[in-house]
Amino acid sequence: MAEYKKCRHADQRYRNRVKEYDMPPPVNLRESILEMRRVYASKKREAFVSWYANRYKVKPEDVRRVLDQAREANP
């Protein structure tokens, strides 16, 4: 069995690769919420807020705020 040799370059390559996965690209939260709301239109409002907040790790009040703003913009 081959031994793993400590190599600072290998460690740095690993850290860079992990950092790429840990830092996903920025997402427009408003567009994401409204798009998912269209997809899951059959869910009740509070059920959707709870589901989205748990699934995407955002605050429920942020989801409610976006939905309220969209409702006011489109009466």
Q: What is the pLDDT of residues 10-67, one digit of tens each?
A: 677 777 777 666 666 788 999 999 999 999 999 999 999 999 999 999 999 999 999 9
Per-residue pLDDT band at 6 (split at 50, 70, 90): low
* Domain map (residue ranges) of the chain: 27-75
Show the CA angle centred on residue 37, arms to residues 43 and 26, nearest 5°: 135
What DSSP element (H or E) covers 6? none
Closest CA to 68 of 42, 24, 34, 40: 34
